[in-house]
Amino acid sequence: MKQKVYGLIGDPVSHSLSPQMQNTAFKTKKLPHTYHLFHVKKQNLKKAIEGAKALNLGGLNVTIPHKQKALKLCTETSEEAVIAGAVNTIDLKEKIHGYNTDIIGAKKAVTQPKKHYEKAVIVGAGGAARGVCIALKDNAKQITIINRTPKKARELSELLQKQNTKSSYRPLNKLSQELSNADLLINSTPVGMYPNTNKSITTKENLHKDLIVFDLVYRPIKTKLLKQAEEVGAKTINGVEMLVQQGAESFKIWTNREPPTDKMREAVHRELKQ
């Protein structure tokens, strides 16, 4: 078997645990491949993806801020990626084939504590939020998008409405109001991510015990938001589960093999403890 190189493109990427996770998966399955981090600025995205194909790389993961733009640069895309309007996994075996494994990752993470939600509030409207919203569309009666720039929130809300999901959008200053009758809060923004660990998208006073709080940030594993949620008696989901599940799905796409999900999860936890 030929050795292939895989990697993550984004800006920033230095915080990522994907190399530890994917290299553990390759090793566990006795595959000769390697996974690396590639710091790519917005203006170089097209060159980076085409260059990866020209250099015969096996595939890529795509992170902030490139997920939506990457969709347009793929020559083929999965149905889910088109619906979400974002790509986080690219397979380079034949064409430049884009997928959205965030959807599967989010669905597996968010349906663990509870299968159905009355009202989900999502903070953020970028590529990750799109994946999460599509994952939730069959599991939440209503989805409210809260974002700093209302235009992006409106676009995402309209996307959900086209999928026959009841959806609305609000500016950031309406978050406390929207949380009062919500049973799920998801942070899809980088707020609270290392090194800005003292930041949160909201105050403790806006949270309540009937909420399930899911933070996509996984470094630190327990963000300020999750600590606030625990203090009011709310259930929490950290970002590791979504990271692992979407990574396992990427591995499957690239290698056509069953991912060693437990080993991948162990690798992430091991790294976070350091």
pLDDT, one tens digit per residue, over 193-205 is: 988 999 999 999 9
For residue 106, what are its two tokens? Answer: 């989010």
Residues 3-38 have pLDDT tens digits of 999 999 999 999 899 999 999 999 999 999 999 999
**Domain count within the chain:** 2
Amino acid at the residue 69: K
Give CA–CA dist 38/10, Å, rounded: 7
124 annotated ligand-binding residue: yes
pLDDT in tens, 194-244: 889 999 999 999 999 999 999 999 989 999 999 999 999 999 999 999 999
Residues 187 and 201 in one domain: yes
Residues 70, 131: one domain?
no
Please report, rounded to a whole number, the percentage of residues in the chain having pLDDT higher than 90.
95
Q: Is 16 annotated as a binding residue?
A: yes
Do 114 and 200 share a structural domain? yes
Hey, which residues are catalytic here?
Answer: 67
pLDDT tens-digit readout, 146-170 = 999 999 999 999 999 999 999 999 9
Show the 3-state SS of 20-42.
HHHHHHHHHCCCCCEEEEEECCH
Q: What is the overall mean pLDDT for the chain?
A: 96
Inter-CA distances, 229 with 131, 174, 235, 262, 264, Å: 23, 19, 7, 27, 27
- Residue 127: per-residue pLDDT: 84
130 and 159 Cβ atoms separated by less than 8 Å:
yes
Looking at residue 101, its pLDDT comes to 96
Q: Which residues are bridge partners to 145 per DSSP? A: 122, 169
Do 171 and 266 reside in the same domain of the chain?
Answer: no
Instruction: Return d(Cα 64, Cα 99) in angstroms, integer.
Output: 15
pTM of the predicted structure, to 2 decimals: 0.88
| Domain co-membership, 118 together with 233 | yes
254 shares a domain with 221:
no
Task: Give the 3-state secondary structure of 48-69.
Answer: HHHHHHHCCCCEEEECCCCHHH
Consult the annotation and say whether 151 binds a ligand: yes
Cα dihedral 138, 148, 88, 264 sign: negative
180 CB-contact burial (10 Å; exposed 0-12 / middle 13-18 / buried 19+):
exposed
Whether residues 24 and 127 share a domain: the answer is: no
Would you state the structure tokens that stand for residue 46, as one six-digit string? 């097209």
Residue 250 annotated as binding?
no
Residues of the domain holding 31: 5-99+241-273
Q: What's the rounded Cα separation, in Å, for the pair 157 and 154?
A: 5
Amino acid at 186: I
| H helical segments located in the chain | 18-28, 45-54, 67-73, 79-84, 102-110, 127-136, 150-162, 175-179, 224-231, 240-255, 261-273
Q: What is the CATH number of the domain that holds 29?
A: 3.40.50.10860
pLDDT number for residue 274: 76
- Taking the CB of residue 43, how many other CB atoms lie within 10 A of it? 7
Enumerate the β-bridge partners of residue 89. Answer: 61, 99
pLDDT tens digits, one per residue of 72-130:
999 999 999 999 999 999 999 999 999 999 999 999 999 989 999 999 999 999 988 99
Confidence (pLDDT) at 100? 96
